[in-house]
Amino acid sequence: MTKDTSRVYYQLKWFVFLCALINSLTYSLTATAHVGSSGVIVQKQAGKYQLLIQVNPPDVVPGTAKVTVFVEQGRVSSIGARPIYFRSGDKGAPTHDVLTPVGDNRYEADLWLMASGSSSVELSIDGPDGKQQVVVPVMALATALRDMPAGTGWGLAAMGLLLVVMLITIIGASNADGIVAPDQSIGAALRRRRLLGMSIGLVVLVLILAGWRSWWNSTSEQYRTQQLYQPLPIHASVNVANGQRQLTIQIDTTDFKKNGRRRTLSYILPDHGKLMHAFLVRMPGLDAFAHLHPIRQDTLHYNVALPPLPGGKYLLYADVVYRSGFAETLTDTVEIPSLKISPEVAANAKPTDRDDSWLVTEPMGVKANAVNMPHLDNDMVVCGKPGASMKLEDGSSMLWMDKASPDLEAGKLYNLKFAVADAQGKAAPLEPYLGMGGHAAILRSDGTVYIHLHPVGTYSMAAEGSLVGRIADTARTFHYPDAAKFRDSIDTYVTKLNSLPEAEKNTLLMTAMPAMSHAMKTNNMVEFPYAFPRAGHYRIWVQVKRNGRVLTGVFDTQVNEPLL
């Protein structure tokens, strides 16, 4: 290689490196920045370890998920984490990344999620108390678009222009230097050859840049129309027949062919024995609440009889889980008409599902001085600690235990702990409700934050079971069974399950989800790990079961931005 050729070669390498740098900067600034998200929170026992886990997935994929593990009990030497996608399973997953200790019994890591879809984070815990593995369901979804800052764009444009000029000059110089000795004077022929080389280089570069721009626009459009998550639309309506209001939820598949965003609607799994958990909350006071379980009529339609809720505009949140472990909340607003019926008709009205429950209470923000109203301020001392209380429909009281302060902080992990005492103030034992110690729903006053909570965290039993089973599968790819047969088998299972006696049904549900077992030290308490994602005014509905009856407590709290 001659001296001139070597010089040209290294100039070209430098040019390619800078082009790659510009491309990577452009992509990262437009597609991999993060915004706040509540993510997934899990609290569970794994052998001798009790862990509190928080995974904040990126809002743009590819991107990094923030994994934080608090070791609440047990001696840990190291924790590893790796993402496992449903479609590729264990065989297609990378090796574990080691989490970094950042404090007393706290470990953190940034974990790359390279593709959208249903995934999980597998944690491998090692220490003197043994080896354990925990699977945390995570939805890897692109939910945001990023605009490049104007200053960065102009800077990259100037750098790109400089690189183009450099490359044209390099091509012209190499075309001339390849046939003319370095010490020979430059004549007219040499100048023409150099200009010719530069002209050809300019044309080639223009074609390359035009092709690159076309590819970039195509990739960007694909991200917007296919990879960027859009909720599955539904249409909710209420019909009245024979003095009974019926809620119908219809799934809208109009855009399936247009944008390629399909859902495997025939492969919906039961979660806690129900194909759909629907929550209705009346706006603006959040004073009427219902937790219902619609029945599937066909692939696109679900029906449920409405309880005696007052008329008005309601927000609807419907939770479903697919065979892939992908969990989704479908949302809509629905106008429920007021209905005047006789006491006899009301008494004979039966819910669609025996586990349906509802509550009508005071509007949000009312400072209560009487029973059966939500309490904004501490009004009771329980075991020497302040707590909020509410009288339940059976005469017992629900107490918010160990509330850190009247106002909570956004982004901070809390254990929301509630206890039930009977009319005499003694601990009131609780029964399993849908296979668990209790359920909770949290809603921000404007409806923009909603979560369905379990004692083990913010994920669903069905999602965990599906992903754990996929990891145990040795197949590199997953093949779905026949859609009609699968749907029919699930409908048969749900019907049979709901016909069982309550004790037998709960035993079957708890056996099917051992990883979600979260036994309390006292059987009148239930707790939920949660971090409020945004400041605002929140209402919390806590549902437990006692003497065969679902009881709902309601509490309000203010959440502020964290103190600096």
- Per-residue DSSP letters for 336-366? EPP----HHHHHH---SSTT-EEEE-PPTT-
CA distances from 198 to 7, 194, 201, 334, 515 (A): 17, 6, 5, 67, 68
Amino acid making up residue 209:
L
Amino acid making up residue 558:
Q
Q: What tens digit of pLDDT does each residue of 306-350 get?
A: 999 999 999 999 999 999 999 999 999 999 999 877 666 666 667
* Reported confidence tier of residue 418, pLDDT bands at 50, 70, 90: very high
Q: How many CB atoms lie within 10 A of CB 166?
A: 15
Q: Which residue has the tokens 């003694």?
A: 426
Q: Which residues pair with 82 in a beta bridge?
A: 122
The arithmetic mean of pLDDT across residues 181-205, rounded, is 71
Q: What tens digit of pLDDT does each residue of 21-68 get?
A: 333 333 333 323 222 356 899 998 899 999 999 999 888 888 899 999
For residue 359, give both structure tokens: 């509550």
Say if CB 496 and CB 388 are below 8 A apart. Answer: no
Of 61, 11, 9, nearest in space to 37 by CA: 61
Helix (DSSP H) and strand (DSSP E) numbers for the chain: 8, 29
Of 162, 164, 191, 166, nearest in space to 177 by CA: 191
201 three-state secondary structure: helix
Q: What tens digit of pLDDT does each residue of 3-15 get?
A: 444 444 344 444 4
Answer yes or no: is pLDDT of 508 > 90: no
What is the C-alpha separation between 457 and 41, in angstroms, rounded? 5
* Reported confidence tier of residue 176, pLDDT bands at 50, 70, 90: low
Q: Which residue has the tokens 């009148």?
A: 524
Chain-centre distance for alpha carbon 55: 10
110 three-state secondary structure: strand
Buried b / exposed e across 231-267, counting CB within 10 Å, b at 16+?
Answer: ebebebebeeeeebbebbbbbeeeeeeeeebebebbb
The arithmetic mean of pLDDT across residues 297-308, rounded, is 94
Task: Return the domain boundaries, the chain.
Answer: 3-31+147-227, 46-56+68-140
CA distances from 407 to 38, 305, 376, 537 (A): 18, 38, 10, 10
Q: 193-202, 265-274, 501-510 — which is least confidently predicted?
A: 193-202
Of 92, 84, 65, 63, nearest in space to 133 by CA: 84
Say if CB 476 and CB 89 are below 8 A apart. Answer: yes
Chain-centre distance for alpha carbon 155: 36
Q: What tens digit of pLDDT does each residue of 95-132 get?
A: 999 999 998 899 999 999 988 888 999 999 999 999 99
Half-sphere exposure of 304 (CA within 13 A, CB side): 28
Of 247, 285, 270, 279, nearest in space to 320 by CA: 270
Q: How many CB atoms lie within 10 A of CB 293?
A: 24
CA-CA-CA-CA torsion for 298, 299, 300, 305, nearest 10 degrees? 40
Q: What is the pLDDT of residue 359?
A: 94
Answer yes or no: is pLDDT of 157 > 90: no
Of 289, 296, 224, nearest in space to 450 by CA: 289
Q: Which fold has domain 46-56+68-140?
A: Immunoglobulin-like (2.60.40)
Q: Which residues pair with 430 in a beta bridge?
A: none
Instruction: Tell me the pairing of strands 63-73 and 49-56.
Output: antiparallel
DSSP-derived secondary structure letter, 99: P
Half-sphere exposure of 474 (CA within 13 A, CB side): 0
177 three-state secondary structure: helix
* Reported confidence tier of residue 480, pLDDT bands at 50, 70, 90: very high
Angle at 489 between CA 465 and CA 229, to 5 degrees: 55
184 three-state secondary structure: coil
Q: What are phi and psi of 24, to 5 degrees?
A: -65, -40
Average pLDDT of every residue of the chain: 82
Q: What is the pLDDT of residue 532?
A: 93
Q: What are phi and psi of 292, to 5 degrees?
A: -120, 165
The arithmetic mean of pLDDT across residues 301-308, rounded, is 94
Chain-centre distance for alpha carbon 223: 19
Of 326, 545, 392, 413, nearest in space to 41 by CA: 413
pTM of this prediction exceeds 0.95: no
Q: What tens digit of pLDDT does each residue of 357-403 get?
A: 999 999 986 544 433 444 433 333 333 333 578 899 999 999 998 77
Instruction: Tell me the pairing of strands 277-282 and 78-85.
Output: unpaired
Q: What is the pLDDT of residue 516?
A: 55
Residues 6 or more apart whose CB falls under 8 angstroms from that of 459 comprise 40, 42, 136, 137, 327
* Reported confidence tier of residue 523, pLDDT bands at 50, 70, 90: confident
Q: What is the pLDDT of residue 178?
A: 53
| DSSP result, 6-17 | HHHHHHHHHHHH
Q: What tens digit of pLDDT does each residue of 195-219 get?
A: 777 788 788 888 888 888 888 888 7
Q: What is the pLDDT of residue 260?
A: 53
Amino acid making up residue 397:
S
